[in-house]
Structure 1
Amino acid sequence: MSKISIIIQREYLSRVRKKTFILSTILTPLAMVAVLGAVIWITVKNVRNEKVAVVDPQGVLKSTLPSSKSVSYQFVADADTGNYTDKGFTAILIAPNTGINKGSNFKLVSEKSLSRMSNERIERDISHALENNLISTQLKIDPALIDSLKKQADGVSIEAVKKDELGELSSSNFDLASGLGYITAFLIYITLFVYGVMVMRGVMEEKTNRIAEVIISSVKPFELMVGKIVGIGAVGLTQFLIWIVLLFGLSTAMSALIPADVMAQAAQASNGMPGGAGNAQASDAIRNIANAQATLSTINWPVLIGCFIFYFLGGYLFYASLFAAVGSAVNEDAQDAQSLTFPITIPIILAIVIMINSINDPSSSLATWASIIPFTSPIVMMSRIPFGVPDTVPYWQLGLSMLLLVAGFLATSWLSAKIYRTGILMYGKKPSWKEMLKWVNR
Structure 2
Amino acid sequence: MLRARLTLVAVLTAVAAIVVTLIASYRSVSPLVAAQVDRGLSDRADTVLALLDAEAPIPVRPDMTEQLLLPDGSVRVLTPGRNALPVTEIDRVIARSGAGGADTEIVVDGVEHGVLTKPRPGGGAVMVSQNYTEVIRVDNEFLWRTLWITVAAVCAAAVIGWLAIGRVLRPIRRLATATRHVATTQDLSTLLPRAARGEVGELTDSFNTMLAALRLSRAQQQRLVEDASHELRTPLTSVRGSAELLQRAHGRLDPADETRVITTLVQEAKALDALVGELVDLATDQQTVEEPATVDLPELAEARAERFRRRTGREITLAGTESVPVTVRPQALARAIDNLLDNALKFSPPETPVRIHITGARLSVHDHGPGIAPTDQHSIFDRFYRADRTRSTPGSGLGLAIVHDIITAHHGAVFAANRPGGGAEVGFQLPR
Q: How would you bin the TM-score normalised by the shorter chain?
A: under 0.3
Structure showing the higher helix proportion among its residues? 1
Q: Which has the larger radius of gyration?
A: 2
Normalised by the length of structure 1, the TM-score is 0.21
* Bigger relative contact order (CA 8 A; separation at least 6): 1
